[in-house]
Amino acid sequence: MSGLAISVDDYLYYVDDALDSMVAIVSELGDELASTQPPIPGANSAYAILTHCLGVMEYWAGCVVAGRTIQRDRDAEFVASGPVAPLVARARVARQQLARDVESLDPSAPARGWVRSEDAELPYASTQSGALFHVYEELAQHRGQMEVGRDALLATRE
């Protein structure tokens, strides 16, 4: 069986679609609502979710794929809040960094950087392309959560 091949440009198209939607949601919600948890048990604010997704991109593409040394406080991502404009700017910078991180992609090669021990045995930690698919998986999943959270927040404002 041959491997699945996707071009870097195609991959970045799908990442852009998800990331642009997430940025649009926090922008639509504005400074107050973007940092507000929706009225759904266990839900995170749109601000926190986007912050987490930027951390996912940094770790899985920057560290695991590109081998860059990074600093990440995963727990802090889920309680992050603040004004939207700097977060949107961070998302734009993160997207540019992602493009640089995948320039030297060797799809079937193992990670170039450190993989957390709790992730080491998972399929997406075994190859660089697996790590990138995990980035997209996280963006797509959390985009949906942000859409539901946004809808719930806006419904309470009506």
Question: Is residue 21 over pLDDT 50?
Answer: yes
Across 56-60, 93-97, 145-149, 153-157, least confident range:
153-157
Query: Could you state, in order of their start, the residue ranges of all structural domains in the chain?
Result: 8-150
- The residue type found at 15 is V
Q: How far separated are the first and last CA of the chain, in Å rounded?
A: 54
In this prediction, residue 1 has a pLDDT band, given cuts at 50, 70 and 90, of: very low
């004004």: which residue's tokens? 83
pTM: 0.94
Quote the CA–CA distance of 64 and 81 in Å, as a whole number. Answer: 27
| CA distance linking residue 124 with residue 113, whole number of Å | 14
User: What does CATH list as the number for 8-150?
Assistant: 1.20.120.450
The candidate with the shortest Cα–Cα distance to 107, out of 16, 10, 8, 17, is 8
Query: In this structure, are residues 153 and 36 in contact, taking their beta carbons and an 8 Å threshold?
Result: yes
Torsion sign, CA atoms 121, 133, 139, 79: positive
CB neighbours (10 Å) of residue 135?
Answer: 26
pLDDT at 155: 94
CA distance 81 to 51: 9
